[in-house]
Amino acid sequence: MNNQAYWSLAVVVAGLALIGGTVYNLQHQQRSFTSAAGDSLLPADQRALSWQVRPLADQIEVDLQLSSLDQAVSLARLSLTYDPASVEFVSAKPGHLFDQVSVNPSDGRLTLISQGRFYGQGSWAKLRFRVLSSPAQLRVDPAFSILQYEGGESRQVAEITLPLE
């Protein structure tokens, strides 16, 4: 290979490496938003929280489901807000991911905390509410909602509105 062909090939390889690095950085930035507190936010396309709403006789059951995404979770904390004129908290029980779920209801806010270890996805807690009037909804407060991972990283749970009707 002559000198000119060698340098041309080296420039092409360097250019491809630069493009590949730029694409990786852009993808990484889209997944690693940071908050003022330094916690990285979960990207919208990989939310760790999902739910199923099931109507019962005079109540609504919300099955909160968690996904650990790419790491084992050691602590989950979720703060839900609601209008107490529209929604009344009735009860909570743990799903199968954690042995216990600590629930702290106050006027218009419900905080859930669980500690343990899980990797994968499944039911975290089953919550029951009574709908008093429309619109009945719960809202995840991202300022107080995190998943803490075994490696020490914490991620905020994205702000989500959960309709109950």
Question: pLDDT by residue (tens digit) across 79-103?
Answer: 999 999 999 999 999 999 998 999 9
Residue 96 identity (one-letter amino acid) = H
CATH of domain 45-163: 2.60.40.680
Task: Reply yes or no on whether the pLDDT at 47 is more than 60.
Answer: yes
For the CA atoms of the chain, what is the radius of gyration? 22
Q: Look at 97 and 18; give whichever has higher pLDDT.
A: 97
DSSP string for 22-51: HHHHHHHHHH--B-TTSPEEPPGGG-SEEE
Q: Report the first-to-last Cα separation within the chain, whole angstroms.
A: 71
Task: Reply yes or no on whether the pLDDT at 20 is more than 50.
Answer: no
Residue 9 CB neighbour total at 10 angstroms: 11
> What's the confidence (pLDDT) of residue 114?
94
Task: Reply yes or no on whether the pLDDT at 16 is more than 60.
Answer: no
> What's the confidence (pLDDT) of residue 94?
94
Task: Reply yes or no on whether the pLDDT at 26 is more than 70.
Answer: no
Task: Reply yes or no on whether the pLDDT at 35 is more than 90.
Answer: no
Task: Assign 54 to helix, strand or coil.
Answer: strand
> What's the confidence (pLDDT) of residue 2?
67
> What's the confidence (pLDDT) of residue 18?
39
Banded pLDDT at 36 (limits 50, 70, 90): very low
Task: Assign 70 to helix, strand or coil.
Answer: coil
Write out the two tokens for 62: 């919300």
Residue 107 identity (one-letter amino acid) = D
Q: Check: CB of residue 118 under 8 Å from CB of residue 98.
A: yes
> What's the confidence (pLDDT) of residue 14?
45
Say if strands 154-156 and 121-131 run parallel, antiparallel, or are unpaired: unpaired
DSSP 8-state code for residue 85:
T
Helix (H) / strand (E) element for 8: namely helix 3-31
Among the residue ranges 35-39, 50-54, 102-106, the one predicted with the least confidence is 35-39
